[in-house]
Each structure stands twice: as structure tokens, then as C-alpha cells.
Amino acid sequence: MAFAYPDGHQALFGVDLTVRRGERVALLGPNGAGKTTLVLHLNGILGGGVGSVRVAGLPVTKPNLAEVRRRVGIVFQDPDDQLFMPTVREDVAFGPAAAGLRGAALEERVHTALDRVGMAEFADRPPHHLSFGQRRRVAVATVLAMEPEILVLDEPSSNLDPASRRELADILRSLDVTVLMVTHDLPYALELCERSVILSGGVIAADGPTGELLCDEDTMRAHRLELPFGFDPRSVVMGR
């Protein structure tokens, strides 16, 4: 797939990427690599490029957008971009209600989504009264309430304190969905994703086991990826 914006800026030059069901894949790369552009093609927010995008066998085209958007849930970097209702409950209910769910079925869907992120007790709180980490978990719940098959997360660990970062990691590991995680947090990628893809200059520059990529100093340097000071991926014992 290739894509250029109306001003002529070419963001993607030919991306060929397959994410298999049940995988957790980290999408890595420097700023300006095309990561956000790629992600916005996954549920049709952007379109019109050269090539095709398919989700669970469905082409991401106008007739299929409603079903594709049900299957692909995107959690944006800033939770306040997704939370706009007076209470947490109403935010989480918004998507399923818009899709036609009503009554006890809607209540059960909301409770289940909030329970999965550990936020059920906050259902009647205004989102703006919550901490940033709590708001991010509610943003994840708004997507889970649509029962997606694929969860796309844009910088999920950004601005989180260590405890909130760990809590979110525990939640993500517990979910039975395919995950594509856009992140600059390389230790988080190693912790959560067995596979990583490096997008650089609008093309896939590398694709392989996360630990191997992070230990490849030449590849890391070539694509402006740097590990935190003192962090050695070879010293990490991976857990599921």
C-alpha cells in the first residue's frame, strides 16, 4: 500500500504487512515514519491510496466500513480524544448504543468492558475526575465495548506512571484479541509483543522477534531507535 496526502506529501511508499489472528505486534519507528498514517487506514479513517487493506478478509472499502470499524478498535494516545460524555458509563455505552444495542444487553456490555479494565466501580464518575491512567483504561473500555477482533493502540504507555503502566500491561495481556501497538516505548514493546515491525521512511524496514530487533544495533541506529540508558533487552526474561 502507498499513500500520499492531498498536499503531495508521500507518507507510505509501499507497505506489505500481515498481522495474524492472536498476535501482539509492536509498530516501531522514528517520528514521521508513517506509523499513524498506516494505522488510520486500518478502519478507513484514511483511504484512497494505491493498494488494498483487508481486515479479517474484508476489504476496507466504503460498503464494509461499519463492519470493519466494529472489528478494529483504535485507542488514541490522548484518552480525552475519546471521552466526551458526562459519565464513564455513558462513554462506554456510546458505541454499542449507536450500533443499536439497548436495555439489559447494553448494560451487560458496558459492565463487562469496564470490568475487563478494572474500572467498573467508576461507572458513574465523570471522566474528567479520573487520573490520566484511569482515563486511558476507560478509553480502552470504550473500544472493548464494541467487541473488536483487533485492538490498535497509539502510544499506550505515554504519560503513565510506573504503576499505571504495569496495570495497563496486565490488562493487555489478559485480552483475547489481536493487538497492534504503536509505540516509542521499546521496553514496553519487548514486554508485551513477541514480534515487532520497524516502519521507516514509509516502508517496512525490519520485521522479526522484538528481542532480536532491539539487540540489532545497526538496525536500531539506522532508524533512529534508541533504548533507554542502561536497558539491555538481553537481560529481560520474557513472560506471557
pLDDT band at 240 (very low <50, low <70, confident <90, very high): very low
Is residue 1 pLDDT above 90, yes or no? no
C-alpha Rg value of the chain to the nearest Å: 18
pLDDT computed for residue 237 by the predictor: 59
Q: Which residue has the cell 480525552?
A: 80
pLDDT, one tens digit per residue, over 208-239 is: 999 999 999 999 999 999 999 999 998 875 54
What is the average pLDDT score of the chain? 94
Domains of the chain from N-terminus onward: 2-17+24-229 (3.40.50.300)
Is residue 55 pLDDT above 60, yes or no? yes
Neighbours of 22 (CB within 10 A): 10
pLDDT, one tens digit per residue, over 155-175 is: 999 999 999 999 999 999 999
Is residue 59 pLDDT above 50, yes or no? yes
Is residue 180 pLDDT above 60, yes or no? yes
Q: Which of these, 65, 40, 50, lies nearest to 13 by C-alpha position?
A: 50
The average pLDDT across 55-81 equals 92
pLDDT computed for residue 121 by the predictor: 97
173-177 contacts, C-beta under 8 A, 24 or more apart: 173/240, 174/116, 175/116, 175/144, 175/151, 176/22, 177/148, 177/149, 177/150, 177/151
Phi, psi of 148 (to 5 degrees): -75, 160
